[in-house]
Amino acid sequence: MPELPDIVVYIEAIEQRILNQRLERVRVSSPFLLRTADPPLGAAEGKTVRRLRRIGKRIAIGLDDDLWLVLHLMIAGRLHWRQAGVKLAGRLALAAFDFPDGSLLLTEAGSRKRASLHVVAGEAALTALDPGGLEVLKSDSAAFASVLTSANHTLKRALTDPRMFSGIGNAYSDEILFEARLSPVTLTRRLTQEEIQRLFDATRRMLKQWTDRLRSETSGRFPEKVTAFREGMAVHGRYKQACVRCGAKIQRIRYAANETNYCAQCQTGGKLLADRALSRLLREDWPKTLEELELLTSGGR
């Protein structure tokens, strides 16, 4: 699922291409994509793009008359910049937003269509789509600590809950916890003040670092290789590979469709976190899928 660094770079690339441009037409091929009926989707056609905004992991495109198109890519949705009027060919193509100089194409891999498009009018309706998580890059350590300890969850659950923290998902939470040298299953209310500060610093550092890195990699091009598994990640997607810090093999916890990667030597004092031993804890503190967690925050919208 595209997370804060990916969404920021997406928005910057989209902004370069469509800001102050007229949206000529919206074409939708999937009946599952559009989640709202009022205002109608056709109301967006002919209006000019005035601003773009990130709402958690959503991309909000602001048009004339305070009308907003809000895209949630979920796990497999991706955006592409194509020639104007590109055909909606194949089962992956869900929608195209046509502008004078090109079309923003939305695709989604896999058979389960979870990506969504909302059309809303006004700031209040836009805010209603925001899960409300803290923007860590805009907050201080006190606010971070307050949110983190507001419930007694595992660190993995807390970081990826969009009602607690904005824009962080499975991939970057692994990287953050590795950077902070903290176990993914440590309970939030058992952290010391020093550990909370370390986690706050690591969260800000990783989000900034990866946003800058992805921005540099695209170099003005449209980001076409958005993936949860990136070269240069320390633990995420690196099961059984050598830890970049200590050389020990990266371990993982698997529960349902979720996978958490960690270094036992660096994060858990050498202790392996066995899936079976953690099943009760994870069952109580973790939805069956990260996708399910996202859906919880929007009432299935």
Q: Which residues contact 6 (CB under 8 A, 6 or more apart)?
A: 214, 223, 226
What was the pLDDT predicted at 277? 45
CA distance 210 to 38: 37
Domains and their CATH numbers in the chain? 4-127 (3.20.190.10), 136-297 (1.10.8.50)
What was the pLDDT predicted at 220? 86
What was the pLDDT predicted at 284? 56
What was the pLDDT predicted at 50? 98
Q: Based on C-alpha coordinates, what's the Rg of the chain?
A: 20
In which residue ranges of the chain is pLDDT below 70? 256-257, 274-301
What was the pLDDT predicted at 300? 47
- In one letter, which amino acid is 292? E
CA-based nearest residue to 104, from 224, 2, 218: 224
- pTM score, whole prediction: 0.90
DSSP type of residue 128: T
